[in-house]
């Protein structure tokens, strides 16, 4: 029993951003504000798409799913972190930590696959406009969304299973504000080389794979736009893609910086700040990026408000 007690901790302590005691209140206000904006913004996006039959197209089907995903993604991390800053309650149970990691990995991976699916959708719309309705059938769109979640499930099962098979001896502190894979691995007293290699291989291949789909799609899109005869058609094609490109750059830029490089576990303070970006800032910005850059959504919003 003594040995069992030694390897199985009952709880961890999340110490991310703890070094600035004066800023705890500011952080809790910042996090809670961003969370409210995320939920409200994404719920509005879902309602606009649901209520306007003109927006019942593949592009908006993916957008609606992205908004739902962003709400879930942010909800796994932000409310808990806000309470930790506000009340100083930084402990998280062993099972709580495992489930947070599981859902965070699930939604994060799914988001990468969603962005790839959306890039493919834009590629089909611009490079094969005549076959667009045939290729991007309702069935394919639903399968793409289900496939994204399935891939997320596989990845989060691997990540969480491997991480929580490690032993955690005396070190209960996790240098992060949520149970991120790299930070939890870092807190273990086992040899973590295999885990780090698995994380690098799995996360790396997902990031590189989905990013490749995105870059190849946009390579073709750019070539097609350049060859368009009129300036107006070029502008229209570009405006349907620009918002998506912005989201992609933000998401893949930060995630690549975090997970797709060796030694991702080595500098926790830097990674704390970067992960605020993709866990909280990007889900908050997505609805705004898509609304402000998109004439159809703006038009629909005006219509709904008039009604």
Tokens of 52: 């306007």
Q: What percent of the chain has pLDDT over 70?
A: 91
Tokens of 146: 């289900």
Please determine, for residue 266, whether its predicted confidence score (pLDDT) is greater than 70: no
Residue 267's pLDDT band, with cuts at 50, 70 and 90, is low
Mean pLDDT, rounded, of the chain = 86
What residues contact residue 171 under an 8 Å CB cut-off, 6+ apart? 187, 188, 189
* 262-272: average pLDDT: 62
Tens of pLDDT, residue by residue over 113-149, are 999 999 999 999 999 999 999 999 999 999 999 999 9
Q: Is 125 exposed, middle or buried (0-12, 13-18, 19+ CB in 10 A)?
A: buried
11-293 belongs to CATH 1.20.1070.10:
yes
What's the CA gap between 183 and 210, in Å, rounded? 24
Please determine, for residue 155, whether its predicted confidence score (pLDDT) is greater than 50: yes
Tens of pLDDT, residue by residue over 181-223, are 888 988 888 888 888 888 888 988 998 999 999 999 999 999 9
- 17: alpha, beta or left, given left = phi > 0 and alpha = psi -120 to 50? left
Lowest-confidence segment of 103-117, 227-241, 265-279 by average pLDDT: 265-279
* 69-92: average pLDDT: 91
Please determine, for residue 264, whether its predicted confidence score (pLDDT) is greater than 60: no
Domains of the chain, by residue range, sit at 11-293
What's the CA gap between 152 and 75, in Å, rounded? 17
Phi and psi dihedrals of 170, rounded to 5? Answer: -95, -20
What's the CA gap between 286 and 173, in Å, rounded? 33
Q: What is residue 268's predicted lDDT score, i.e. its pLDDT?
A: 59
Q: What is residue 262's predicted lDDT score, i.e. its pLDDT?
A: 58
């Amino acid at each position: 029993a003594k040995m069992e007690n030694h390897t199985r901790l009952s709880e961890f302590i999340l110490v991310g951003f703890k070094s600035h005691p004066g800023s705890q209140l500011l952080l809790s206000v910042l996090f809670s504000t961003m969370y409210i904006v995320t939920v409200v913004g994404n719920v509005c996006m879902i309602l606009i798409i649901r209520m306007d039959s003109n927006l019942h197209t593949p592009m908006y089907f993916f957008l609606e799913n992205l908004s739902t995903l962003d709400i879930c993604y942010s909800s796994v991390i932000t409310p808990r972190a806000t309470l930790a800053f506000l009340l100083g309650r930084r402990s998280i149970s062993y099972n709580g930590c495992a489930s947070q990691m599981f859902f965070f990995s699930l939604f994060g991976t799914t988001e990468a696959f969603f962005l790839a699916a959306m890039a493919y959708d834009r590629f089909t719309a611009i490079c094969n406009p005549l076959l667009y309705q045939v290729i991007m059938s309702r069935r394919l769109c639903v399968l793409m969304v289900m496939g994204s979640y399935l891939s997320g499930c596989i990845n989060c099962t691997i990540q969480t299973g491997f991480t929580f098979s490690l032993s955690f001896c005396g070190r209960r502190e996790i240098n992060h504000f949520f149970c991120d894979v790299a930070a939890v691995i870092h807190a273990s007293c086992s040899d973590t080389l295999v885990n780090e290699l698995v994380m690098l291989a799995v996360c790396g291949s997902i990031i590189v794979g989905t990013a490749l789909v995105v870059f190849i799609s946009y390579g073709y899109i750019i070539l097609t736009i350049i060859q368009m005869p009129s300036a107006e058609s070029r502008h229209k094609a570009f405006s349907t893609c620009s918002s998506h490109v912005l989201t992609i750059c933000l998401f893949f830029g930060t995630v690549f910086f975090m997970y797709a490089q060796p030694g991702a576990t080595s500098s926790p303070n830097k990674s704390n700040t970067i992960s605020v970006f993709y866990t909280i800032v990007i889900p908050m910005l997505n609805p705004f990026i898509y609304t402000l850059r998109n004439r159809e959504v703006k038009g629909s919003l005006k219509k709904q408000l008039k009604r």
